[in-house]
């Protein structure tokens, strides 16, 4: 069985101002993934926070959510160029972890391809990647307020998570690590 290289990128808003906000749930989950995947701690790189091993590379976008596409595309390109063989470059998979307003808090949804479904961060990523490039999206549920009023939704996604919600995201990282392992093995 051939194992594929995996690049897991999170999109959200930058720290420290937006650390552990609902809108940055992807970042919160990603910060816990090294524990689940037995990776080294994150370090600062020129393009964002990075934790890497021969099996997985985790990268956290330093940009604002809605303009995260170009940094993701650049980091993905850098990752591909670091792979030694054409076979690895062809087999490599991009996984983007993001917040999902239409999913209950703490749930995940895995999708390959498709539209951004109104998520501006995903729209930015889709526009910045080569046309038609498929990638796996892992939506991390943050729930939604009862109202659909855009101002109230914006305030909701920008609120800080409670300590219990942050702990829940650490557990969600376990689910995301299983998804990453399945993709690496070619099961997904």
Active-site residue flag, 119: no
Sheet arrangement for strand 93-100: 43-45, 48-52, 56-60, 6-10, 93-100, 136-141, 108-112
Helices 120-128 and 69-82: crossing angle in degrees, nearest 10, is: 50
Give CA–CA dist 88/27, Å, rounded.
Answer: 26
What kind and span of H or E run contains 82?
helix 69-82
CA distance 126 to 171: 28
Catalytic choice (23, 27, 32, 119): 23
Give the DSSP letter string of 149-163. Answer: -HHHHHHHHTSBPPH
Bridge partners (DSSP) of residue 57 are 7, 52
Cα 121 versus chain centre, distance: 10
Catalytic sites, residue numbers: 23
């Amino acid at each position: 069985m051939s194992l594929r290289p995996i690049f897991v990128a999170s999109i959200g808003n930058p720290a420290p101002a937006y650390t552990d906000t609902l809108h940055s749930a992807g970042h919160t989950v990603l910060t816990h993934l090294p524990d689940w995947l037995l990776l080294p701690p994150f370090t600062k790189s020129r393009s964002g926070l990075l934790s890497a091993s021969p099996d997985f590379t985790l990268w956290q976008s330093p940009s604002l959510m809605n303009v995260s596409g170009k940094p993701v595309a650049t980091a993905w390109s850098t990752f591909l160029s670091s792979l030694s063989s054409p076979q690895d470059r062809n087999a490599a998979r991009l996984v983007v972890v993001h917040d999902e307003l239409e999913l209950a808090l703490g749930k995940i949804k895995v999708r390959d391809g498709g539209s951004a479904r109104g998520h501006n961060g995903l729209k930015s990523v889709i526009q910045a990647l080569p046309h038609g490039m498929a990638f796996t999206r892992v939506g991390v549920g943050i729930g939604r307020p009862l109202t659909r009023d855009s101002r109230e939704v914006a305030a909701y996604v920008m609120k800080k998570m409670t300590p219990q919600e942050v702990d829940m995201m650490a557990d969600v990282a376990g689910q995301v690590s299983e998804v990453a392992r399945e993709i690496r093995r070619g099961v997904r």
